[in-house]
Amino acid sequence: MKASGINTPKLIRDLFRYLTTLITAGIAIAWSIPVLWTLVASFRPARDAMTRGNVWFGSALTVENYQRAWSLAPFDRYYVNTIVVVLIILSVQMVTITLAGFAFANYEFMGKKPLFFFILLQMMIPTTALLAPNFATIRILGLYDTRLAIAIPFFGSAFGTLLVRQAFLEVPRDLVDAGTMDGCAWWQLILHVYLPPSVPALIAFGLSSATWHWNNFLWPLVITNSDRSRPLTAGLVRFTQLGEIGARWSLLSAATLMVAAPLFILFLIFQRRFIQSYLHSGLK
């Protein structure tokens, strides 16, 4: 707390600082216990009783829970599905938001404002809320229980369009005019003038979009019906309901962490990037 020590003697100020650190540390530890506990529990033998002593200070460490979880449910399949879905969404979104963002930043045209507001509708009504009618649409399109069905409602992104438009508007008009004078076609303008300075904005959007779709659950749950297309999140919930899992917490812990791990590790490596991207795009 920056302002804490104003107009107080140094000793009290230092004491206050140490106390703040101590309190912060206490809350931080409490906040981390669930995940730390799960991490340790996932490496404890499944036959051990789940008492606190056994989990924190147990005798043996083992990876058998991970092997067992992997053999009980096709997690490899779930991984592939999640990764494919996220990659499909990201690659299509990058194209659609760049094109739309470019149109809104570079052109004046009839109906520009109403069309922009129409797209923004997607930000006011989350797609998740429309799962019942969208389910019907997917059935009609014949896409039920496919990975494409999980991805397709997110092919257009109001938020991405907004971000790209903003980034493109910051490109100096002189640069655009110079490009036009040189005879650049519209796609050359995008590639050579607009995109290069806007890469950070696109990365920011990409990271938060990837996080959101890696973690998404409800829509994939209703639109998939087999392991052919089921992603990690829906697979995990199915796994927890398997008869043979019961109250095997070390097994559950392993499965839970497997689902969260890849994104978590990426986050640890690129922490600053991720946080920047969340700040950029609070709406995910």
Interior/surface letters 155-193, b for 16+ CB within 10 angstroms, e for the rest: eebbbbbbbbbebbeebeeeebeebeeeebeeeebbeeb
Burial of 33 (0-12, 13-18, 19+ CB in 10 A): exposed
Task: Give the Cα separation of 93 and 212 in Å (integer).
Answer: 13
- Looking at beta carbons only, is 4 or 67 nearer to other proteins? 4
| Cβ at position 278, least distance to other proteins in Å | 6
Of the pair 1, 11, the CB lying nearest other proteins is at: 1
Tracing tokens 């996080």 back to the chain, one arrives at: 211
Question: CA 237 to CA 242: how far, in whole Å?
Answer: 9
User: Shortest gap between Cβ of 62 and other proteins (angstroms)?
Assistant: 19
| Nearest-approach distance from CB 38 to other proteins, in angstroms | 5
Cβ nearer to other proteins, comparing 23 with 199: 23
CB of 220 to other proteins, least distance (A): 10
For other proteins, which is the closer residue by CB, 76 or 107? 107
What does 101-144 look like in DSSP terms, one character per residue?
HHHHHH---TTHHHHHHHHHHHHHS-GGGGHHHHHHHHHHHT-T
Nearer to other proteins, 51 or 71 (CB): 51
Residue 121 C-beta: closest distance to other proteins, Å: 6
